[in-house]
Amino acid sequence: MPETRKAILIVIDGLTPSVFEAAVGDGRAPALSFLAEKGRYARAVSTFPSLTPVCLSSLATGAHPDVHHIPHLVWYDRDRKRLVEYGSSFAALRAAGMARSILDAIINMNRLHLSRDAVTIYESLEDAGLTTAAVNITCYRGRTRHLPTLPGVTIPAYGPKRFFFYNLFESDPTGAPLAVFGRSQGSIDGYAAAVGRWLVTRDGFDLLVYYLPDYDFASHAHGPEGAVEALVRSDAAVGALLDAAGGPDEFLERYAVVLCSDHGQTNVERSARLQDAYARVPGTLVTASNRAGMIYRLPECALDARELAELLDDDEAAEVVLFREGDDVLARRDGEEVRVERDAPLFEYPDGGSRALAALQNPNAGDVVVSAAPGVEFADLAGRHHAGGGSHGSLVTGDSEVPMLTIGLDELPESIVDVAPALIRHFGVEPAPYTRALTRAA
């Protein structure tokens, strides 16, 4: 029986293992350095597509997309016959319809898109009588109804008991300010820090999920190695929790910690338009963003998934092209075709077989799923991309590896899908049956 103790999950969006490892021992990142010195550390694997809505859903549910059903940043909802865009870029939101996209990202992802068969960490622990808190994480589904803070807006969100979401939903009055227009200066993480300080000061939770998105924003602009300043601010947001507990040692007396990111990032040299290969194929719909793309067959499409996949055989921007054929999932790369199998290698990609299979076995995924070649990013709905900066989404190691640090936990997760079950077991609660068994035990 593990010692039941309060815990905090810290997620620094887009932080790569190499940047984290270099920050440890660097005086500019004192909070991360302190935690790393006290904890167990290893590199772990993300899910696929390695994009934030997919990854945060995996962190919160302990499942890959075959179970949680969130397929991409942008996808086609076959049931409702419409495009869903969670926010590839501001212009892409506008192209997809601003009001509807904001509603999709903030409310519908949790209420409509996230599968009912998936159980979030908030649902698991609160059903066991514990109190969970979430700050800014986009996968927040819980059992408590919260009304928005905006006057006149009455759409409720169902979240954990303590729920803070970019000033839009605040279960408690913390007085934390939010300046959404100062994004590059790290205003979102500053808001998280103010809320986190309030929560730790009151010791107001059993589990806190503390999500810091600003690092990813900076890394897209400057590339993964160029975002050190942003990491200093993420470190300050972590440091705020340590301070609120009365100091680093007091903090660790009170809380077990998991610190990780949701995906990595790699440098982008050029952009490509996945849409162009299908422009002359009636009945296809392409959703592309960052370093992954999907092709959906609409009912009038005359080509099958294999034929659609083969159209990319000579496309240098597409490194691996995956498609379903009957019960099989197949992968094409450089003229070679292999069957994708769970727990089996897929070329050299980390956890490649399981991740690729789960991506394709998601009913919301395209009939064809594309992992971009190194250095390439697919332009989004509005043509935006991060050429000259950083991006992620593919199966390659750089996009897929995350730093994974634990303190006071019996397990060291090998994958982001192991985080939720490890934390749930830490509280002596049984995780959902689809989750993986204990990994890398201490």
Alpha helices in 163-258 (DSSP H): 187-202, 214-222, 228-244, 248-254
Over the window 163 to 202, marking each residue x when it contacts Zn ion by CB under 5 A and - when it does not, the resulting string is ----------------------------------------
Question: Minimum CB separation from Zn ion for residue 112, in Å?
Answer: 23
| Cβ neighbours, 10 Å, residue 304 | 14
Q: Sign of dihedral through CA atoms 51, 56, 58, 59?
A: positive
Cβ distance to Zn ion smaller for residue 57 or 406: 57
Stretch of 139-147, 183-191, 216-224, 294-302 lying at the interface with Zn ion (CB under 5 A): 216-224
Cβ distance to Zn ion smaller for residue 265 or 364: 265
Q: Which helix (H) or strand (E) holds 55?
A: helix 52-61
Cβ distance to Zn ion smaller for residue 133 or 288: 288
Q: Name the closest residue to Zn ion (Cβ).
A: 216
Q: Segment 410-429, which members bind Zn ion (CB under 5 A)?
A: none
Backbone φ/ψ region at 247: left (φ over 0), alpha (ψ -120 to 50), beta? left
Question: Minimum CB separation from Zn ion for residue 262, in Å?
Answer: 8
What is the spatial distance between Cα 163 and Cα 133, in angstroms, rounded to a whole number? 6
Cβ distance to Zn ion smaller for residue 170 or 216: 216
Stretch of 208-216, 296-304, 356-364, 374-382 lying at the interface with Zn ion (CB under 5 A): 208-216
Question: Minimum CB separation from Zn ion for residue 311, in Å?
Answer: 28
| Cβ neighbours, 10 Å, residue 54 | 31
Stretch of 215-223, 231-239, 274-282, 431-439 lying at the interface with Zn ion (CB under 5 A): 215-223
Q: Is 216 in the site for Zn ion (CB under 5 A)?
A: yes
Stretch of 158-166, 188-196, 209-217, 415-423 lying at the interface with Zn ion (CB under 5 A): 209-217
Closest CA to 234 of 18, 30, 8: 30
The Cα-based distances of 245 to 204, 211, 249, 257, 338 in angstroms read 12, 18, 9, 13, 52
Q: Is 319 in the site for Zn ion (CB under 5 A)?
A: no
Question: Minimum CB separation from Zn ion for residue 287, in Å?
Answer: 16
Judge residue 232's burial from the number of C-beta atoms within 10 Å of its C-beta, 0-12 exposed, 13-18 middle, 19 or more buried. middle
Cβ distance to Zn ion smaller for residue 141 or 392: 392
> What are the tokens at 386?
């991060």
Q: Segment 35-64, which members bind Zn ion (CB under 5 A)?
A: none
Stretch of 34-42, 190-198, 212-220, 400-408 lying at the interface with Zn ion (CB under 5 A): 212-220
The verdict on whether omega for the bond into residue 49 sits within 30 degrees of 0, i.e. cis, is: yes
Q: Is 377 in the site for Zn ion (CB under 5 A)?
A: no
Cβ distance to Zn ion smaller for residue 106 or 207: 106
> What are the tokens at 116?
């009912």
Cβ distance to Zn ion smaller for residue 126 or 216: 216
Residue 100 CB contacts under 8 Å (≥ 6 apart), including other chains: none
Diameter of the chain by CA atoms? Answer: 65
Total interface residues for Zn ion by CB under 5 A:
1
Cβ distance to Zn ion smaller for residue 104 or 216: 216
Stretch of 32-40, 129-137, 213-221, 414-422 lying at the interface with Zn ion (CB under 5 A): 213-221
Cβ distance to Zn ion smaller for residue 266 or 284: 266
Angle 398-257-121 from CA coordinates, rounded to 5°: 85
What is the spatial distance between Cα 383 and Cα 206, in angstroms, rounded to a whole number? 43
Positions in the binding site for Zn ion (CB under 5 A)? 216
